[in-house]
Structure 1
Amino acid sequence: MRKDILIRILGGFIIGAVLGQIVQFFVSLGISQESYFWVVPEFQALFESETMAIMTQVVLTGLIGITFALAALFFEIARWGMLKQYIVHFFVTALIWIPIVVVLWMPKTMANMFSLFASFLGTYIVTWLLQYKLSKRDIEKINAMLIERGDFHDN
């Protein structure tokens, strides 16, 4: 396996696990002001011990991080257009992120499921728009530099 892929996997796992614990901190604040919950009670109930629940939560949030780190490689497939890159990235990340978030933190109601999907989609659209505008700006700068050097003629 290439070294850069291993670095993405390790970095993605660490970032995902750390962000997962930050999310858990805020979820715990929402559950109780008096004590800290390392995992939500509904998730902990799936395990024989709190330690196993915590370790599983870390692995699952690390998996989210790995997914986003590796899915970023879709944007490096030059023969794919931007639209295809974003559609594939969206579905791959949603396929991993949504079920894990539901299992770890979300009460299982249709309203919550809709809210979760809508927030993921909304965040994705905002991110896509920002990326699109940044990419367009960068392309315009590169084209302007090429025109200035005489390497490119804008028709």
Structure 2
Amino acid sequence: MKIISHAISGAAAGITIGFLLALSFSLLNHTTVFMSSTPDFINQFPNSLIATIASAGLWALMGIVFDVGSYLIFETQWNITRQTIVHFIVTFALFTPLALLAGWFPIQSYFMMYLIEFVIIYVIIWAVSMQIAKSKVHQLNQLLNKEKK
């Protein structure tokens, strides 16, 4: 039941974030109409409404990948490094095809940059997670030392 809850909240978050990003890119590109994705993606559909519905579906799936993936992986008793690596592999394997379907980048020219950015983001996530864990261990050690006195 918790997975369904995470899928629903992930879908809602994905649609919200996807819409806000598309709106931002539409504004930054000074378009006079809302562009749910790239022109190449939109041109695959009979009209922009159908393209927006397809985009929303992809955004929902992206949100589900991250929310359910995070719930299933970060709730394990694995160490932080293993959790981060497994989450990276799962999200990269599932998110990348969705981003390609959404027309966010052509695989030939941007894939290496995309991969590098993905790795950098996960290194940052891992480093922050390790710092938080070290801080918690330090606080617990201080509490234990006070109780001993």
Are the equivalent residues in 2 in contact too, given 1:106–1:112 (CA < 8 A)? no
Equivalent pairs: percent with the same residue? 22
- Measure how far apart 1:116 and its partner are: 1.5
- Letter in structure 1 aligned against 2:16: V
Aligned to 2:99: 101
Displacement, 1:109?
A: 5.4
Which residue, out of 59, 62, 65, partners 2:63?
65
C-alpha distance in 1, partners of 2:30/2:101?
19
Is the contact between residue 99 and residue 105 of structure 2 (CA under 8 Å) also seen in structure 1?
no
Unaligned runs of 5+ in 2: none
- What is the rounded CA distance, in whole Å, between the counterparts of 1:75 and 1:38 in structure 2? 32
Q: Could you say which residue in structure 2 is the equivalent of 1:74?
A: 73
Match of 1:37 in 2: 35
Q: What's the secondary structure of 2:142's corresponding residue?
A: helix
What is the CA distance between 1:15 and its match in structure 2? 0.6
Q: CA-atom RMSD, angstroms? A: 1.9
- Whole-Å separation in 2 of the counterparts to 1:113 and 1:106: 11
| Equivalent-residue separation in structure 1 for 2:146 and 2:97 (angstroms) | 50
Please tell me the residue identity of whatever aligns with 1:138.
K
Q: What is the SS of the residue equivalent to 2:45?
A: coil
**TM-score (norm: length of structure 1):** 0.83
Say if 2:81 is the partner of 1:83: yes
Cα distance per residue 1:99-151 (max 9 Å; x no partner): 2223324341533121112112111211221111111111211222123223x
* Partner residue, 2:52: 54
Conserved? CA contact 1:47–1:53, under 8 Å: yes
Residues 117 and 33 (structure 1), Cα distance of their counterparts in 2 relative to 1, 3 Å cut: same
8 Å Cα contact 2:38-2:104 kept in structure 1: no
Write the distance in 1 (CA, Å) between the matches of 2:103 and 2:24: 11
Match of 1:124 among 118, 122, 125: 122
2:106 is paired with a residue of what secondary structure? coil
Which of these residues, 5, 8, 11, is aligned with residue 10 of structure 1? 8
Partner Cα separation in structure 2 for residue 35 and residue 51 of structure 1: 12
